[in-house]
Structure 1
Amino acid sequence: MVTHTAPGAATPAHDRPADGLRLRRDAELSEADGRLGVSGPAGTLRLRDLPPGAKAALSALATADVTEADLTATVVAGDGLAGLLRWNMLLRQLAMNGLLEYAADGVRLRPAGTGPVEPAAPLDPDTRVRLSRFAVATAEDGVLTVRSPRHPGVVELAPAAAGLLGALADWTTPAELPGDERALRFFAGAGLLTRTGEEDDRSHAQWSPRDLWLHAHSRGPRVAARYGGSYPLRSRFGPEPASPPAFGGSRIPLPRPDLELVAKADPPLTEALERRRSVREHDPAEPITVRELGELLYRSMRRRDVFTGDDGQQLADRPYPSGGSVHELELYPLVVSCQGVEPGLWHYDTADHALERVAEPGPATGILVDRARAAAVMEADPQVLLVVSARFGRVMWKYETIAYSLVLKHVGVLYQTLYLVGTAMGLAVCGLGGGDATDFATASGLDYLTEGSVGELVVGSRRGA
């Protein structure tokens, strides 16, 4: 079996032909049993009975940028003029399968997802265009990459061509722009240009660039090839353990409820669903107890089992579902008033069903309480603020484009679990719509990028319960 793999590094601008194309850099051309195959993120394109000229041209595409004139000469030399029609059909097939990259004088158009990518037709010189407000530019391997969240194509700009971005910041025409007009065709082909005001169309105006980026890249492989369990960090880092490091503070073992008795006393599921409300008022005369807090955490969040997956990652089982069983969420009860628990920030140990001390009450924890009180529109401080955090590496070691969207889904199912259990127990539960991850990092001492807050709920005793 002979294999040719397209290199990952971008070809330097001075080495590129003025007009060329090649197989996408993450594609692989292989031959087995006399049959050629081109493998990409969307699968393998099988090619049967290719004549020698087409085989030679395809091999050239797999190794470097090649001009269409050189490809034509290779095909004609091997297959004669009659082979050109079949070759052009094959090129079209490769383009429609998102398997080609295009280069022109310091600018490159390449696919990043599984959808088709081609340069657009030439624009009229007087057409007014502007860079889409959804375009995102990043620096990668010495070039600027520009993308739209709605398109599988990426435009790469060498430093000499980067000025085109600034020129497209406002309305302009192709006739007024510097450089090769093919660069503008690459921008249009990657969905990076708008010819109308995007703010005037409701379907576009309602989206912020950040939200549309997250939505598009977490909902399928068309615009992001490494979709699902792609294990982006496996080659550099090992997986994180199921349990986080202990904080080392004082510990409170929590009472474990008898689930058989709980099941007999609980209202039916439908009743709990129908009774569920966000309750923002707590009973100051009878604050929530350590037994009630322990039961709420045990029934909602405890770790029931831990096991090792086929990929070597420690996985867990809890009462609520988690994608891939990674269970990256942690709970930090910030206690203001709870019978049996001193005020301060605590961490819930899901494995041992215990609370461990994280921080004493102070200005940093006070800010979290004040923000929660304001967000819940409460007249008094909440008795307990449950801060939901995520150990991001637990998810991001395995998942790439969908990692953060998975975290948010997990927060949602944990919210519902806490709501239903709290309702069944007669507690006051209210989920909050937002919080400040920087404030939590300050209060907990945790690194913002390693483990950060992603949700908050206030919990307390319910009047008359």
Structure 2
Amino acid sequence: TAGEGVLTVRSPRSPAAVELSPAACGLLGALASWTTPAELANDGGQGRAQVLRFLAAAGVLATGPEDDDLRQAQWHPRDLWLHAHSRGPRCTGRYGGTYAFTPRFGPVPADPPPFAGERIELPRPDLELLAKTDPSLTDTLERRRSLREHDPDAPITLTQLGELLYRTMRRRAVFTSPDGQELTDRPYPSGGSVHELEVYPLIVSCQGAEPGLWHYDTAGHALELVSPPAPAVRALVERARSAAQLTGDPQVVLTVTARFGRVMWKYETIGYSLVLKHVGVLYQTLYLAGTAMDLAVCALGGGDAADFALASGLDYLTEGSVGELIVGSRR
């Protein structure tokens, strides 16, 4: 990394940070391929060998090819970097709830700006009745499966989609913390109650709703049209279809996004790892509610945030997709 005129070299395997002077930066080119201290000394004198020993002591050098060592080879550098820095305070000078941006920026509000498209008010399910008629938690956990195939003759209904979103994503309360940030309460947990996640149902086939990309208003329990069917929206359907290895289109793709500033205004270094934790608990909440409702739910392992930005018109760095699930009626 470079900053304030200094080039810093770090490794996810070590808490050390090595600052290089301009004269030493040329050594990095020689380290782009495997070499030895002797070869470096012959090429640039003993000074280079001393710098190499210093880098090795700091833990920023790989000491040999790692392809024959699963313990080393299984880690992509980016994965290991995220793991080390989100799970090791010793790797960074600032960690956790540091409020790094409070001197320059105010907190991001709890609610995103509304979309100007068509709005559908969703029916609210009777939770007291559901508490009496739902299967038990144990039964739901045991029956939970990733179901990819949907019933084309009886697609999911708008009432079912609304119930699923109400039981998993709705905003139950909003309050202001002592630090001035608007916090919310939803059915699933969120670090610091920031609840940065949003859900965008991409409807392909749903009784009672037109196809297109919609946004779920967690406060008003309604759908807002983001985009009607368009090539960019279709690309999201195709990607979900491919990820799920389907022969036909899924009925609904739930794209989960994060309003990153909600988390990163408060949390430093661990912000993105917190987002991924929240995606995981939301996945399980959707799985359990969907299983109790006898719906087919299947979480997907990956998506394309650039495709979603194009389809939604949202800024990639402000709010981006971080997860996808497909939902529909069970065969």
Q: Normalised by the size of structure 2, how large is the TM-score?
A: 0.95
Choose the corresponding residue for 1:359, options 227, 250, 257: 227
After TM superposition, give the deviation of residue 182 of structure 1 in Å. 4.6
Counterpart-to-counterpart distance in 2, 1:181 and 1:462:
66
Which residue among 81, 91, 94 is the counterpart of 1:213?
A: 81
CA RMSD of aligned residues (A): 1.3
1: CA distance between counterparts of 2:145 and 2:132?
Answer: 23
Per the alignment, residue 56 of structure 2 pairs with 188
SS across alignment from 1:345: strand
- Partner of residue 141, structure 2: 273
Partners of 1:229 and 1:248 lie apart in 2 by 35
Give the Cα–Cα distance (whole angstroms) in 2 for the partners of residues 386 and 228 of structure 1.
30
How many residues are aligned here?
A: 326
Q: Rg larger in 1 or in 2?
A: 1
Q: What is the aligned partner in structure 2 of residue 309 from structure 1?
A: 177
Residue equivalent to 1:448:
316
Residue 172 (str. 1) matches residue 36 (str. 2): yes
Matching residue of 1:462: 330
Q: Equivalents in 1 of 2:158, 2:94: separation in Å? A: 45
For residues 41-56 of structure 1, the aligned pairs below 5 Å read none
Alignment deviations for residues 256-291 of structure 1 (CA, whole Å, 9 cap, x no partner): 001001111100000000001111111111111111
Q: How far apart, in 1, do the equivalents of 2:305 and 2:114 lie?
A: 21
Q: Deviations over 1:332-365 (max 9, x none)?
A: 0000111111110000000111100100101111
Note if 1:241 corresponds to 2:241.
no
Structure 1 stretches lacking a partner, 5+ long: 1-137
| Distance of 2:62 and 2:286 partners within structure 1 | 45
- 1:336–1:382 contact (8 Å) kept in structure 2: yes
Q: Specify whether residues 309 and 176 from structure 1 end up closer, same or farther in structure 2 by C-alpha distance, changes over 3 A only.
A: farther
User: CA, structure 1 residues 310+220, in 2 after alignment: closer, same or farther (shift >3 Å)?
Assistant: farther
Q: Judge conservation of contact 1:167–1:177 (CA < 8 Å) in 2.
A: no
Aligned 8 A contact 2:258 2:275 in 1:
yes
The alignment partner of 1:333 has SS state of: strand
Q: Is the 8 A contact 1:164 1:177 kept in 2?
A: no
Report the equivalent of 1:439. 307
**Contact 1:388–1:453 (Cα < 8 Å) also in 2:** yes
1:176 & 1:206 partners in 2: Cα distance?
A: 34
1:139 equivalent in structure 2: 2
Equivalent positions of 1:416-435 (< 5 A) are 416-435=284-303
SS in 2 for 1:267: coil
Letter of the structure 2 residue corresponding to residue 175 of structure 1: A
Is the 1:151–1:191 contact (alpha carbons within 8 Å) kept by the matching residues of 2? yes
| Structure number with higher helix proportion | 2
Deviation at 1:175, TM superposition (A): 2.2
Which amino acid in 1 is paired with 2:174? Answer: V
- State how far apart, in whole Å, the 1-side matches of 2:173 and 2:43 are: 62
Task: Report the CA distance shift for 1:257/1:147 in structure 2 as closer, same or farther (over 3 A).
Answer: same
The runs of at least 4 consecutive aligned structure 1 residues that moved more than 6 Å come to none
Which runs of 5 or more structure 2 residues have no equivalent in the other structure? none
CA distance in 2, matches of 1:196, 1:363: 47
* 2:250 counterpart of 1:390: no
State how 1:29-48 maps to structure 2 within 5 Å.
Answer: none
**Matched residue SS, 2:322:** strand
Cα-to-partner distance string for 1:217-237 (whole Å, 9 max, x where unaligned): 111212123111112212211
What is the distance in 2 between the residues matched to 1:236 and 1:300?
Answer: 34
SS at match of 2:97: coil
**After the TM superposition, which residues 14-413 of structure 1 pair with which residues of structure 2 at under 5 Å, given as runs?**
138-170=1-33, 171-173=35-37, 175-176=41-42, 178=44, 179=47, 182-413=50-281
DSSP 3-state at the match of 2:89? coil
Q: 1:235 to 1:199 in 2, by over 3 A?
A: farther
- Whole-Å separation in 2 of the counterparts to 1:199 and 1:457: 34
